Amino acid sequence: MKEQTTSPKPAVLESQTRIRFDHCDPFGHLNNSAFLNYFQNEREDQVEAAYGLDIHAFFRKTGRAWVVGQNQIVYLNPAQVRELVTIQTSIRHVTETSMLVEHLMFDAEKKRLKSVLWTKFIYIDVRKNERASHEPELMELFNEVAVKEETPALFEDRVKQLREQMKASAQPKAG
């Protein structure tokens, strides 16, 4: 891990990317399976930029990496060909051997939520082909940057919460 001077480190990471033609279906909508690639690629870049953690260099050094144990995804609004989208990611829960990362895709102005993904990552030692415990410095980082607000235990409840937040933010302000 590279040393980072930013303190405190952000819990929610954000970046923008453009939806590419070759990732879309004949209707010009981002293909359902392509959402996963966009989310994972943005998360990888965000983590390196914000925390100095190059997961590929880390793997070469330690022989340890994260594999996807489970994905839960909901598609709320289509992402269109050539559209600029905003992707936010955050750690919602962490244990000694796993973490739950939330990925949100919005339009460029963050007015429309397009998709929500929860990925449970399992930390493994590839050389031993078994689960591994996160190193103390990783746990320190994860505990620092994990979102502190309460996250519903069920994916469906979190999606409902996010939809209600989006609806509330769209309401005109009284005043």
Q: Evaluate whether residue 128 is within a structural domain.
A: yes
C-alpha dihedral sign at 19, 22, 26, 30: negative
Mean predicted confidence (pLDDT) in 39-58: 97
Q: Tell me: pLDDT of 119 over 70.
A: yes
The total of other beta-carbon atoms located within 10 Å of residue 168's CB is 8
Q: Evaluate whether residue 50 is within a structural domain.
A: yes
The total of other beta-carbon atoms located within 10 Å of residue 87's CB is 24
Q: Evaluate whether residue 172 is within a structural domain.
A: no
Residue with tokens 């998709």: 115
Residues, the chain: 175
Tens digit of pLDDT for each residue in 136-152?
A: 999 999 999 999 999 99
How many independent structural domains does the chain possess?
1
- Structural domain of residue 99, as residue ranges? 12-161
Q: Evaluate whether residue 38 is within a structural domain.
A: yes
What token pair was written down for 98?
Answer: 């796993």
Tens digit of pLDDT for each residue in 59-103?
A: 999 999 999 999 999 999 999 999 999 999 999 999 999 999 999
Q: Evaluate whether residue 175 is within a structural domain.
A: no
Q: What CATH number is given to the structural domain containing 37?
A: 3.10.129.10
pLDDT band at 172 (very low <50, low <70, confident <90, very high): confident
What token pair was written down for 62?
Answer: 């330690």
